[in-house]
Amino acid sequence: MIVEKAEKVLEKYRLCDHCLGRLFAKLGKGTNEERGKAVRFVLNMERSARGLEPIAEPEECELCHNVFDRIPEFVEMMKKASEGIEFETFLVGSRFPEEIREKEKAIWEEFGIETAEPINREFNRELGKAFGRATGKETSKESDVVFIVEPFSGKIELQINPVYVYGCYRKLVRGIPQTPLPDFEESVASIICRAFSKAFGGKCVFKGAGREDVDVRMLGNGRPFIVEVKRPKKRKVGLKKVADEINASGKIEVLNLHFVSAKEAEEVLTKNHRKEYLALVLVEEGVTPEEAEEVARKLTGLEIYQRTPWRVRKSRADKVRVKRVYEAEARWIDEKHFELRLVTDGGLYIKELISGDKGRTKPSVSDLLGKKAWCEKLDVLNILDEDESENFING
């Protein structure tokens, strides 16, 4: 049946060995060109036995127009398109004219062929193998770059996939926003991205796992973040050198930098961590050591109903969030001050937990004291995983 179908097709269409073999791509092993040569050889033997002229491979294939002969040319074009770009893995894609894809499908339907594969699939595979042999690079689904080749226009589009780096940052000083804001010369993001853009030669996008206010320090083990470097020219970058440049600022310190996948980056940003805080509480009416300790005792294990704080109402949905305080410890400072060390759910606004935010957070430290209380200073001490927070609570 294979030879019979091939003869009928070739009597009507002038096809090269690639396009002939591709009609039977799902049968046997080897390349489509090898398959096409074999089918044509057997067919011509049978035609010779019947006293018929052989059907030779045409000078120009009327389906692909000998595009496979141009693969060495496309390899050189891909090399030129990727000059100056560091990569180890790649994929090849292609865009063929609609009329070629439609003509191919019409041949399948006309002769009832169900064993074929599309022309772009063979082209991508053969061009990928040739480029790999010429450069020593490897194909991979998780590729560094993707070449999109338009064989008949000669256009090559190079898609450079992003690099993702995980780390944790410590903000050592107050007065720096996490991301750029008017009236601030720099931010956590700008200090970090400056070093990354310089090292990788691409555009840096900073994404923090939560954020702290401008006047809040981020200490301890640091806040997780992801840096996405778009269209990087370099990928083999020493992250220690990047960290050293950031840490030299004296304002921001980064820890544990390492490369991650896009999926791992998303998981970091969507995970809701518990947090450990240290707040300096001001009570203008005065506070005793006993009152401070009583507040901490009442806060421990307490469920907090917090309506979106007044100060962020324009940038957050106005709704009531239910959060929990897992642990609270108090240390009396003087007649008007005490420290509160807290472990809470992520997303609980600590300043409003203390002040009450005019009744939008209930209960609050102000409620529990029966006096107006304010957060004078606040530090994030640690971002905790489940195991770490359990150790803190039980330890």
- Specify binding-site residues for substrate: 277, 349
Compute the distance between CA of residue 42 and CA of residue 26 in angstroms, rounded to an integer: 18
Is residue 213 among the annotated active site residues? yes
One of 213, 215, 357, 367 is an active-site residue; which one?
213
Helix/strand/coil for 30: coil
Compute the distance between CA of residue 354 and CA of residue 368 in angstroms, rounded to an integer: 10
Task: Please check whether residue 205 is in contact with residue 227, taking contact to mean a CB–CB distance below 8 angstroms.
Answer: yes
Q: Name the residue type at position 387.
A: D
Task: Please check whether residue 149 is in contact with residue 71, taking contact to mean a CB–CB distance below 8 angstroms.
Answer: no
Compute the distance between CA of residue 285 and CA of residue 158 in angstroms, rounded to an integer: 66
Binding region: 277, 349
Dig out the tokens for 358 from the structure. Answer: 């005019």
Closest alpha carbon to 166 in 207, 129, 219: 207
Helices (H), 163-229: 188-200
**DSSP letter for each residue of 243-261:** HHHHHTTSSEEEEEEEEE-
- Beta bridge partners, 328, equal 342
Beta-carbon contacts of 76 under 8 Å, excluding residues fewer than 6 positions away, are none
**Catalytic positions, written as ranges:** 213
